[in-house]
Chain A
Amino acid sequence: MENYLSLFETYDVPAAFWVNIQLSFWAALWALVLGTVLALFRISPIRSLQWFGAAYVNIFRNTPLTIILAFGFLGLFSVMQVSLAGDLNVSLFRIAILGLSLYHAAFVCEAIRSGVNTVPLGQAEAARAIGLGFLPAARLIILPQAFRGAIAPLGNVLIALIKNSTVAAAGSVATESSSLMKTMIEFRSDLVIPIFLTFALGFVILIIPIGLLTTWASRKLAVAR
């Protein structure tokens, strides 16, 4: 037990989780923005935009996240020398956020599209009947209801995103939790199982409230029909 507690003095476990939370937060924000735009593209009457949205989703949804994040480090950072900040580590951190956002935007787009499918035809017809064009109808009638119908799938995307933030290890973000766990196990191989359970439990604690919250919110905010 004392052995176990001494781990927390040597290694800053909460700080590693904080890195994952930050990665997830910023990636969730950007993915939501990009995903909403893509969903609008896909339901718009404009063929070229529909095509672009579909191509984006098919490409990013079918690429392993590991390749995207490894590309961020090996391709963008090393070869292309893309720099998103003066500091090297901050730059890698931001490139990882970029990769996570691009990947999850495809899933956000599909979640919102599934939300659009929950909006009854009559709503769109009514919007047209009172003379709204595509954008006003989408902004005032369709999307508000679609978001409420998409809370559960969006919550699942968020949960997946939090778990996937560990893959930032492939993008050389060495401060996040899976990398710290690897270091800790390497140095304290007598405590392999307690170390793993600590990190696993950390994610369970992070994720279960989000699951409960989105389930509650999707019931509470469901459009009564």
Chain B
Amino acid sequence: MSAQQVLFDAPGPRTRRTILIFNILGVLIALALLAWIVSALADRGQLAASMWTPFLQARTWEFFILPGLLNTLKAAGIAIVTSVAFGLLFGVGRLSHLAPIRWVAGTVVEFLRAVPVLLMMIFFWLALGRSGAVEPQNAPLIAVILALTLYNGSVIAELVRSGVHGLPKGQREAGMAIGLTRNQSLRNIEVPQALIAMLPALISQFVVILKDSALGYIITYPELLQYTRRLGVGEGNVIPSLLVAAAIFILINFALSTLATRMSSLLSFRTRTRKRAAEDVVVMDAAST
């Protein structure tokens, strides 16, 4: 951010003119791009009123969008809780002073982070559905939650670990000095502080969970994308339906991302010495689906 003001001088009259020209050019190109998309959509009749009126009807929302959104939020909500639990468990495991626990936790976390979420989802879906361990109609939901938990839980475990590593050494030493064992100091002193420091990164990870819950579409979990596709096929307005689904996701995720940014600037006074580590983590995992 700070780079933005120093990459260029305060503009003089000539630069101001150049900037104005490029500004106009930029707006024109953006408008041309928009016009091109709109005309392409219009050519295929995608902008006709009949394509969009279904979204003004209560039944569209009642029977398609809201049930879908509810299922998305259900899967994502449960997965958020379970992945935080998984992350805390394995994050603390990776910090354990017992080498075997550290290795096991480390191997599990590294393995799960390298496997595509979709592979895990398809695996759990088919394995659970066929083994009869769960009701077949519940298999997609459970597969979505399990896969999201294992992947995002591992990422959160790494957040916990880097959060604790980012704490000043004095924190642990102070814990030791008042006679706590290493585990007690970890649980009562280090992890709580690390959790606060990692809050922005954690919220960014919730965005990832919410986005990844849409993978449930591929394994027939009736989430928002699945419902809007059905709506689109039924009403013959696939493109408007998918755009509405995307808009809903963007709104929720944008709100969460904004919260994360706010939180990070709010917390920056508490986490000043270890901000760097937290920032690296945010960048590191934001890219997952």
- Per the 8 Å Cβ criterion, residues 28-84 of A in contact with B are 43, 45-49, 52, 58-59, 61-68, 70-71, 74-75, 78-81
User: Which B-chain residue is minimally distant from A113 (CB atoms)?
Assistant: B3
Are B123 and A46 within 8 A (Cβ)?
Answer: no
Q: How many A-B residue pairs have CB under 8 A?
A: 204
A219 interfacial contact with B, CB 8 Å: no
B115 adjacent to A204 (CB under 8 Å):
yes
Query: In the complex, which of the residues A74, A111, A185 contacts B232, with contact meaning CB atoms closer than 8 Å?
Result: A74
Beyond A128-B9, A192-B126, 8 additional pairs, beta carbon < 8 A: A45-B15, A48-B30, A64-B210, A66-B289, A67-B246, A80-B46, A160-B288, A185-B123
Task: Give B108-127 as 1s and 0s: 1 = Cβ < 8 Å from A's Cβ atoms.
Answer: 00010011111110110011
* Set B23, B117, B242, B254: member contacting A46, Cβ < 8 A: B23
11 contacts between A and B (CB under 8 A): A64-B249, A71-B242, A128-B9, A159-B114, A163-B114, A163-B116, A164-B288, A166-B118, A182-B126, A192-B123, A208-B114
Cα(A67)–Cα(B248), bound, Å:
11
Q: Given A117-B2, A164-B116, A178-B122, do A78 and B238 touch, yes or no (CB 8 Å)?
A: yes
Enumerate chain B interface residues (CB-CB to A < 8 A).
Answer: 1-4, 6-9, 11, 15, 19, 22-24, 26-27, 30, 40-41, 44, 46, 111, 114-120, 122-123, 126-127, 130, 207, 210-215, 217-218, 225, 229, 232, 238-239, 242, 245-246, 249-250, 253-254, 257, 279-280, 283-289
In the complex, which of the residues B7, B22, B115, B207 contacts A49, with contact meaning CB atoms closer than 8 Å?
B22
Contact A43:B287 (CB < 8 A) given known A74-B238, A79-B46, A134-B8: no
In the assembled complex, the Cα of A186 lies from the Cα of B130 at a distance in Å of: 9
Main secondary structure of the interface of B (DSSP, over half): helix
Min CB distance A182 to B, Å, is 5
Chain A interface size band reads: 35 or more
Task: Pick the interface stretch among A6-14, A85-93, A118-126.
Answer: A118-126
Which residues of chain B come closer than 8 Å to A61, judged between CB atoms? 253, 257, 286
The answer, among A46, A64, A119, A193, for a CB contact under 8 Å with B289, is A64
Is A157 within 8 A of B287, CB to CB? Answer: yes
Contacts of A163 in B (CB 8 A): 114-117, 288-289
Cβ contact within 8 Å between B249 and A45: no
Q: Are A111 and B283 in contact (CB under 8 A)?
A: yes
Q: How far is the CA of A127 from the CA of B214 in the complex (A)?
A: 46
Contacts of B1 in A (CB 8 A): 117
Decide: A63 and B249 in contact? CB cutoff 8 A: yes
- B3: chain A residues at CB < 8 Å are 43, 113, 116-117, 119, 124
A9 to chain B, nearest CB (A): 22
Q: Is the CB of B111 within 8 A of A59?
A: no
Residues of B within 8 A of A117 (CB): 1-3
Select one of A67, A156, A166 contacting B225, CB under 8 A: A67
Whether A142 sits at the interface, judged by CB under 8 Å, is: yes
Across-interface contacts of A23 in B (CB, < 8 A): none
CA distance A204 to B15 in the complex (A): 51
Closest to B26 in A: A48
Q: In the bound complex, what is the Cα–Cα distance between A200 and B116 (angstroms)?
A: 8
A45/B232 in contact, CB under 8 A: no
